A and B are shown apart, each in its own frame.
Chain A
Amino acid sequence: MITGQAIFIGFFGMAAVWFGIVVFRTFSMVRSAIALLFSQTALGAMFLTMQAEFLGVLQIMMMATEMSIMAIFMVMFMMDPGGMGKMDMTHQKRLSLIAGFVAFVGAVAVAVFIDWGPVTETIADTAQQTEALGLELLGRSMLIFETAGVTILTAMIAATAVAIKPVPIKIKTKDEK
């Protein structure tokens, strides 16, 4: 049975995959980053279709900033960010294509052939969902959530420590006098 929900999931899903393919097919690096952004946004729209409103809105919000920052790093680090020179930036193409295709087919096979059991049609409304999520975060799963927070802090410190400009230390040797 094809429901309205299924149609929207199919539509946004195809949009997400198409934008995902565009990421690696365009020569312009900024376009590539923005395509990834719209792929993630389509994913957020899929979450909204699945009535996971909080997660969908969160996904749409987080990815906008994340991918914009990605875009500026692309412009900083690439030789040809505008894609005017049509540079080929790939290697081991055949191997990658095969690996990607095998991964896809394997995952699809798992998705199709496993019996997932009964599927729930109805779901609690968003306000209740959000409340339950909040109680979960600050109740049973608090330790995991705290761990995530500490991990973010660690990553922030680590990334800053790696990226910071090393201050040259002058050590006076004997023959420098």
Chain B
Amino acid sequence: MTTLLVLLLLAIGVYLLAVLENWIANGRFQLTAPAYSAIALLGRESVIPRKPDLLFFEVGPVLLLIAALLAAAVIPLSPDLIIADLATGALFLNAALAYILVALIMAGWGPNGAYAMIGGWRFLGQLVAYAMLIVMPITAVAMRAESLVTTDIVFSQAGLWNIVYQPLGFALFFIAAMGLAFLPPFDLPTAKGELAGGVEAEYSGVRLAIFRLGRMVLIITLAGATATFYLGGWQGPLLPDWIWSAIKIMLVTAAMLMVGKYVPRIRETHLLAWCWKFGIPLALLNIFIVGILIVVIP
């Protein structure tokens, strides 16, 4: 029952995200546009390229969707509205998100196309950049909560949200989450201008619909993770708790999309250099500061 409810909310969130993306990218607010484009995608022919690795070609988009859904399973919308309240929730989130990379490599290698393959391997390089910046801020969050359980992490922010307690960690996690969801300016694997769609290039029809759906779920999940770890999850005055979760998730999503609108696409070498030379030392500094803060102000 809870699972179905969460999945329903997730579906609504995905639809709203599609509307929002269209609004921010094209400046048109159309509530029905995503439905029409989804129907159009489902109706179109799903072309299979010549000499594909058919197994990878089919599995790639599905694995993307499954990995994003698994990651969404540990995001609490309210104390009870969570699919799996695991004892190692924060670690499980990382484990599920690691398979996004595998899905993109499979989807990039499968269709036997140059642009798709470059896109897939590019995402591997991007992983080297963002992975540490996902894990290390979560470490600091878990340190404050003294637990890996996601609901406990939200409860630990009752007095003070983590965005105030560890703003550095929030900034790093936000950037890394955008890199993981390959949102602009980090949309290296699917770069529209230079790779003609990259990983998405050879997909069409139903498979492209699944791929896009998986990516939308991924964005919502990462926004949910940001809200859970840094914005106090479901906590807020007056309104019921799941509405607060929804508001926070949509705000984070909107912020992610807005950033991408005004920043030019980053070069892969620059991304790697900045993440390793500035990001990782800052993340370590964040852990250090939080460690001191926990002793000083519990």
The short answer to whether A and B are in direct contact, CB under 8 Å, is yes
Residues of A within 8 A of B (CB): 28, 30-31, 34, 37, 53-54, 57-58, 60-61, 64-65, 67-69, 71-72, 75, 82, 84, 125-127, 130
- Residue from A31, A53, A64, A82 within 8 A of B99 (CB atoms): A64
Given the known interface contacts A61-B91, A61-B95, the answer about A127 and B149 at a Cβ–Cβ threshold of 8 Å is yes
Residues on the A chain within 8 Å of B86, using CB: 53, 126
Chain A proximity of B256: nearest CB distance (Å): 23
Chain B proximity of A81: nearest CB distance (Å): 9
- One digit per residue, 1 when the CB lies within 8 angstroms of any chain A CB and 0 when it does not, for chain B 118-131 equals 00010010010001
B3 close to A (CB within 8 Å): no
A75 and B244 CA atoms in complex are apart in Å by 47
A36 and B224 CA atoms in complex are apart in Å by 32
A71 and B98 CA atoms in complex are apart in Å by 15
Q: Are B95 and A57 in contact (CB under 8 A)?
A: yes
Q: Are A61 and B124 in contact (CB under 8 A)?
A: no
A68 and B99 CA atoms in complex are apart in Å by 10
- Residue from B87, B101, B147 within 8 A of A53 (CB atoms): B87
**Would you mind naming 11 contact pairs between A and B with Cβ atoms under 8 Å apart?**
A30-B109, A34-B102, A37-B102, A58-B91, A61-B95, A65-B98, A68-B124, A84-B51, A126-B86, A126-B88, A130-B88
- B residues 28-72 near A (Cβ < 8 Å) are 51, 53, 55-56
CB-CB nearest in chain B for A66: B98
A75 and B55 CA atoms in complex are apart in Å by 18
Q: Are A72 and B121 in contact (CB under 8 A)?
A: yes
Q: Are B88 and A68 in contact (CB under 8 A)?
A: no
Residues on the A chain within 8 Å of B99, using CB: 64
A118 and B51 CA atoms in complex are apart in Å by 55
Residues on the A chain within 8 Å of B14, using CB: none
- B residues 107-137 near A (Cβ < 8 Å) are 109, 112, 121, 124, 127, 131
A133 and B57 CA atoms in complex are apart in Å by 41
A130 and B91 CA atoms in complex are apart in Å by 12
Residues on the A chain within 8 Å of B95, using CB: 57-58, 60-61, 64
Q: Are A30 and B102 in contact (CB under 8 A)?
A: no
A116 and B53 CA atoms in complex are apart in Å by 46
A69 and B112 CA atoms in complex are apart in Å by 19
Q: Are A126 and B91 in contact (CB under 8 A)?
A: no
Q: Are A65 and B131 in contact (CB under 8 A)?
A: yes
Residues on the A chain within 8 Å of B101, using CB: 64-65, 68
A58 and B148 CA atoms in complex are apart in Å by 13
Chain A proximity of B161: nearest CB distance (Å): 24
Q: Are B105 and A54 in contact (CB under 8 A)?
A: no
Given the known interface contacts A53-B88, A54-B88, the answer about A61 and B148 at a Cβ–Cβ threshold of 8 Å is no
Q: Are B127 and A68 in contact (CB under 8 A)?
A: yes
Q: Are B98 and A126 in contact (CB under 8 A)?
A: no
Q: 14 new A-B pairs (CB below 8 Å) besides A53-B87, A67-B102?
A: A30-B53, A34-B56, A37-B102, A54-B88, A58-B91, A61-B98, A64-B102, A65-B101, A65-B127, A68-B127, A82-B112, A126-B86, A127-B147, A130-B88
Residues on the B chain within 8 Å of A53, using CB: 86-88
B155 close to A (CB within 8 Å): no
Chain A proximity of B129: nearest CB distance (Å): 12
Residues on the A chain within 8 Å of B102, using CB: 34, 37, 64, 67-68
B275 close to A (CB within 8 Å): no
Q: Which 8 A-B pairs have the closest CB atoms?
A: A64-B98, A126-B87, A61-B95, A127-B87, A60-B95, A57-B95, A57-B91, A30-B109
A80 and B275 CA atoms in complex are apart in Å by 33
Residues on the B chain within 8 Å of A130, using CB: 87-88, 148
A65 and B97 CA atoms in complex are apart in Å by 10
A70 and B131 CA atoms in complex are apart in Å by 17
Chain A proximity of B243: nearest CB distance (Å): 30
Given the known interface contacts A37-B102, A65-B98, the answer about A72 and B124 at a Cβ–Cβ threshold of 8 Å is yes
Residues on the A chain within 8 Å of B121, using CB: 72, 75
- One digit per residue, 1 when the CB lies within 8 angstroms of any chain A CB and 0 when it does not, for chain B 148-185 equals 11000000000000000000000000000000000000
B92 close to A (CB within 8 Å): yes
